[in-house]
Structure formats: C-alpha cells, structure tokens
C-alpha cells in the first residue's frame, strides 16, 4: 500500500471514529485530525505535487511511443525582370520513432516511477508531521484551558480574601492597609486570568489555521487533558523506526534515483536506432502576364532508418558516469547518516519520555501536597494563625505546582507523539 493509500485509510478511520461530528462546536481530536488532513495548506500542495508526478509517470513521457507531426507552408515570389509570379505550396506528415536508445526509455520510465514514489513518500511525511502538530496544538489548547482554570481558582481565592478583608474592616477587625493589599493581589490575579484567556484564544486560532478553518471559529474541546502513562520498549521502537520511518524510506528512494541516473549516463555508450516514415506533398505554379506558365505537383512517400553512434565525445560520457557514481555513493552515505541521526533522536526521545513519566508522578504528589497545604492555610489565615503574606506565598506555591503538573502532562503527550511519529506509527495500516 502506497503512502497516499495509507492517507486515505487514515481519513476513513478518523471519519468512523468521529462520534461528535454532528455537533458543530464540539471538537474531538479525531475531528481536528480529519479537518487538518483535508484542509491543511501544506498537504494540499503536497497532494498537488503527487498528482503532477503521477501524470508524468507514463511511457509516453519516457519516450517509448513514436511522434507524428504535420507541416504546411506557402511561399509566394515575384520576379520584377520577367514579371513572373510563382506560388509554392508544401505539406507533409511524418512519423519518427526511436527504436533503441541504449535502454534510455526503460531507465527514464524507472526514474519517473521512483519520482512518483518519492512524491508519495514526501506526502506521507507531510501527513505524519501534520498529525503530530495537530496533536501538539490540540493538547496545547487544553493546556492553556487547564491553566486558565487554575488561575481562576487562585483569582477566586484572592477575591474571597478581598471580600473577607472588606467585611472585617466594616466590622472594625481590619485596617485599610490589609484591604488595599488584598485588593492589589486580587487585581493582579484577575490580570493574569484575563491574559490567560487571550492565550487560549490565540492557541485556538493557531489550531484553526492548521485545520484550514476561519480564525473566528470557537470550539468546545471534548478530550480529557490526561497523558498515557504506558511505557515503551527501546528495542521495539528501534525495530519499528528502521522498518517504518518514512523519512528513512524516502532516503532509500533517493538512492534509487541516483542509481537510475547512473544507468541513464551509461546508456550514452550505446548506439541509437530510429525510423522515420511519412509523405510530402508539393505544388508549384508560375504566372506571367496573367497566364499560367508552369505547374508542378509532387507526392513523395518516404521511409528511413537511421543509426547513430557517438564514437568520441571528449570524455563527456565517462565523466557523466563517474559523477553519477559519486552521487550514488553520497546517497549511500546520507542513508547511513540518516539512520545514525534518527537513532540518536530516538534515544533522546525515549530518555525524555522515561524521565517525563517520573516527573509526572512527582508532579502529582507535589500537587496533592500543595492542595492540602492551601486548604489548611486558608483556615489558618482566617483564624489569624498566619498573616496575609504567608497565605499569598502558599497560593503562589499552589499556582506554580499546578502549572508544573499541567506542563508535565503536556510534555508526556508531546514525547509520545514524537515517538509515534519517528517510528511511523501515524501511518500504520493493515496489509492489503
């Protein structure tokens, strides 16, 4: 199954999985992926490039079939000395067919097929990159929304504290200094909340752009902001990457192009045999003094065979083959480099994912402690055991710990998406 067919398969699966499609304002991850794979500008351009490659991949472009042409001309002349007017008409139809050209037609067709495969592979890479980007941005929106909820909680606590100080002052239990301090804290938290609302809108617009949707479209995101905590096995990831990484496959396709180019250069050492056949028609008429003086009409069918062989070309053919072989060797080195680079990247991603799993566990424990501390501190503040500065410090600790946990979740989602992408998992499919 070619990458283009894989893409169609993905779209079908996403269409089936899209259980919320009937509700316009609800956006599931599968719906976002479907919209992006259909409307993303980069994918539209890549699909157009593949269409061009498919059109070019035929035997006619490679030069297997003959060409047929038609020519017609008219020539009029007048001799001043003899007052002679001459009219000449000529027409001809001809066929030219290269029977043998050093296997160039065969190698050219193979080159066109490889170019189509490469275009298909590039489209597959674009598809995988788009899927990864959509996952990152979709959960990026959820991250901003979760952070907005945390800021709203902190802002609500600050507002409650401000109202509490106002009430205490009205009863004579507080002073203006405490009220103003509580008001400043509340207004600061409200500012942070409003700025976060803007970040949510901006991130949503970025997601809309990737899906090819108007920026004014708003969504209700239905996915839960949680990470898959399952672990990976490095050996399995390496095996999948070697077998399914599309970028590496494209590198092998590029090597085939270089090998075909070497074969094309070698074809220049062979002779060329062609045939030509056709028919020419000619008619010449001359007039002098208004009377016709000459009339000639010819019909000339013809058939020719031509053999050509370049005996000496000042080393052009030899240099062409040598350069093609060097490019072929370079392509092999590039494959080794690609394999090494991808292996390094996979090791790094695996390490990131492993560490992020542990960091998420730490963040969960840290948040539990911060929530309990915040709850206890609120009671202590109202009972006067701690002052407003201590209470504010604990609020900020809760805010930072909550943000760290949310970021840990997003980081884990991101690392899993990157591991899936590098191992070709986004284009997995059942064999035909």
Residue for token digits 């202590």? 380
Distance (Å, whole) CA 246 – CA 7: 13
pLDDT tens-digit profile of 215-227?
999 999 999 999 9
Per-residue tokens: 28: 């599931």
Is it the case that residue 432 has pLDDT exceeding 50?
no
Distance (Å, whole) CA 321 – CA 171: 97
Architecture of domain 3-39+102-271+313-427: Up-down Bundle (1.20)
Is it the case that residue 318 has pLDDT exceeding 80?
yes
Kindly state the average pLDDT of the residues 148-154: 94
pLDDT tens-digit profile of 322-359?
999 999 999 999 999 999 999 999 999 999 999 999 99
Mean pLDDT estimate for the chain: 88
The pLDDT, as a whole number, for residue 22 is 41
Is it the case that residue 18 has pLDDT exceeding 60?
no
pTM for the model: 0.81
Domains of the chain, by residue range, sit at: 3-39+102-271+313-427
- Residue 91 has φ and ψ, to the nearest 5°, of -150, 150
pLDDT tens-digit profile of 398-407?
999 999 999 9
Q: Model confidence at 387, in pLDDT bands (50, 70, 90)?
A: confident
8 A C-beta contact, residue 182 and residue 387: no
Q: What is the DSSP string of 293-310?
A: EEEEEEEEEEEEEEEE--
Is it the case that residue 84 has pLDDT exceeding 80?
yes
pLDDT tens-digit profile of 366-385?
999 999 999 999 888 888 88
pLDDT tens-digit profile of 265-307?
999 899 999 999 999 999 988 888 777 777 889 999 999 999 9
C-alpha triplet 47, 52, 56: angle, nearest 5°: 145
The pLDDT, as a whole number, for residue 287 is 83
Q: CB-side exposure of 252: number of CA atoms within 13 Å? A: 10
Distance (Å, whole) CA 257 – CA 253: 7
Q: Model confidence at 23, in pLDDT bands (50, 70, 90)?
A: low
Is it the case that residue 133 has pLDDT exceeding 50?
yes
Closest residue by Cα to residue 20 from 221, 180, 216, 301: 221
Distance (Å, whole) CA 139 – CA 29: 9
Per-residue tokens: 92: 């001809």
**3-class SS letters over 92-133:** EEEEEEEEEECCHHHHHHHHHHHHHHHHHHHHHHHHHHHHHH
Distance (Å, whole) CA 245 – CA 332: 17
8 A C-beta contact, residue 393 and residue 421: no
Better pLDDT: 428 or 145: 145
Q: Which residues, in sequence order, are CB contacts of 197 under 8 Å at separation 6+?
A: 148
**How many other C-beta atoms are found inside a 10 Å radius of the C-beta of residue 418?**
20
The pLDDT, as a whole number, for residue 95 is 93
Per-residue tokens: 377: 């501190």
- Residue 230 has φ and ψ, to the nearest 5°, of -70, 150
Residue 426's SS3 state is helix
């Amino acid at each position: 199954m070619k990458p283009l067919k894989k893409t169609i398969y993905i779209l079908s699966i996403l269409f089936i999985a899209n259980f919320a499609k009937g509700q316009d304002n609800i956006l599931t991850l599968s719906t976002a992926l479907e919209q992006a794979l259909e409307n993303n500008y980069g994918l539209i351009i890549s699909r157009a490039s593949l269409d061009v490659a498919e059109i070019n991949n035929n035997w006619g472009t490679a030069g297997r079939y003959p060409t047929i042409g038609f020519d017609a001309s008219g020539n009029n002349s007048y001799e001043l000395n003899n007052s002679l007017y001459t009219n000449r008409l000529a027409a001809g139809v001809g066929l030219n067919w290269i029977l043998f050209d050093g296997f160039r037609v065969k190698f050219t067709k193979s080159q066109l097929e490889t170019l189509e495969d490469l275009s298909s592979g590039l489209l597959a890479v674009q598809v995988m990159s788009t899927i990864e980007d959509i996952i990152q941005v979709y959960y990026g929106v959820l991250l901003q929304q979760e952070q907005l909820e945390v800021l709203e909680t902190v802002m609500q606590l600050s507002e409650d504290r401000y109202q509490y100080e106002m009430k205490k002052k009205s009863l004579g239990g507080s002073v203006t200094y405490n009220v103003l301090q509580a008001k400043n804290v509340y207004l600061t938290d409200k500012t942070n909340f409003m700025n976060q609302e803007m970040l949510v809108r901006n991130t949503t617009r970025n997601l809309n752009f990737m899906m090819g949707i108007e920026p004014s479209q708003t969504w209700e995101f239905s996915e839960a902001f949680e990470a898959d905590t399952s672990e990976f096995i490095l050996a399995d990831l390496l095996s999948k990457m070697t077998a399914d990484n599309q970028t590496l496959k494209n590198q092998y396709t590029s090597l085939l192009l270089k090998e075909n180019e070497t074969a094309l250069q070698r074809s220049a050492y062979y002779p060329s045999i062609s045939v030509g056949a056709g028919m020419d028609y000619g008619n010449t008429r001359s007039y002098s003094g208004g009377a016709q003086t000459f009339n000639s009409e010819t019909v000339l069918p013809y058939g020719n065979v031509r053999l050509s062989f370049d005996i000496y070309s000042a080393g052009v053919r030899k240099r062409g083959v040598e350069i093609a072989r060097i490019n072929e060797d370079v392509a092999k080195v590039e494959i080794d480099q690609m394999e090494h680079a991808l292996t390094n990247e996979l090791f790094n991603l695996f390490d990131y994912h492993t560490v992020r799993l542990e960091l998420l566990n730490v963040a969960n424990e840290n948040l539990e402690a911060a929530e309990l501390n915040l709850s206890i501190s609120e009671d202590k503040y109202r009972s006067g055991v701690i002052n407003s500065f201590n209470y504010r410090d604990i609020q900020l600790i809760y805010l930072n710990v909550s943000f760290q946990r949310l970021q840990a979740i997003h980081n884990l989602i991101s690392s899993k998406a990157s591991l899936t992408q590098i191992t070709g998992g986004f284009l997995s499919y059942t064999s035909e």
